[in-house]
Amino acid sequence: MATSLRCSSYKKFEIRKRIPDPKTCVLLVIDVQNYFSSMVKPILPNLLSTIDLCRRSSIPVIFTRHCHKSPDDYGMLGEWWNNDLIIDGTVDSQLMPEIQRLAGKDEVLEKNTYSAFCNSRLQERLLGMGVKEVIVSGVMTNLCCETTAREAFVRGFRVFFSTDATATSDLELHEATLKNMAYGFAYLVDCQRLKDGLGGN
């Protein structure tokens, strides 16, 4: 069940401050699909603002879409979620309409596990673009977003994690991820910090 999340609480977790460098950064929009629409709706305005702010600052945007094509690619997710997974070709697997309209201009990478780096072309794409930093947004905060952020960090990318353009099923889980991210993996940002840091473009 979705919950309306506020971004002010992240300041109690913040350890380090930094602003993304538009010249070497990319925005990752993780799995904003119909399957997760109830979680996304409360943060959709912030997510759209984040995308707009990045585009105005010439920060490329890469979207991901989680889907499974057959039981052969379920992996541990099949066991963990009792095979209640997002099947490719279904309405649930499609990007939400508000995001699909935007994603038409950008690359959409398919993935079939929590990490956007696993079984995808993301690593190669980022290196080819000369990217050194990633901003993570989307759903779910504590699963695909957190796993992608952790993996980006260990692969040598500087990570920024959105506090108000990510969402999950539970505020406690959301805040637990923010605390973990701030402690060991990512700089926390929100729409206002991005707007201020990127010059309000």
Quote the strand ranges of 103-146, DSSP E: 107-111, 133-139
Burial of 72 (0-12, 13-18, 19+ CB in 10 A): exposed
Alpha helices for 57-190 (secondary structure H) = 76-80, 97-103, 122-129, 146-154, 171-184
pLDDT in tens, 96-120: 999 999 887 667 999 999 999 998 8
Give the Cα-Cα-Cα angle 168, 179, 28 (nearest 5 degrees).
55
Instruction: Write down the pLDDT at residue 105.
Output: 66
The CATH class of the 20-199 domain is alpha beta
Q: What is the pTM of this model?
A: 0.93
pLDDT in tens, 41-59: 999 999 999 999 999 999 9
What mean pLDDT is reported for the chain?
92
pLDDT in tens, 62-98: 999 999 999 999 999 999 999 999 999 999 999 999 9
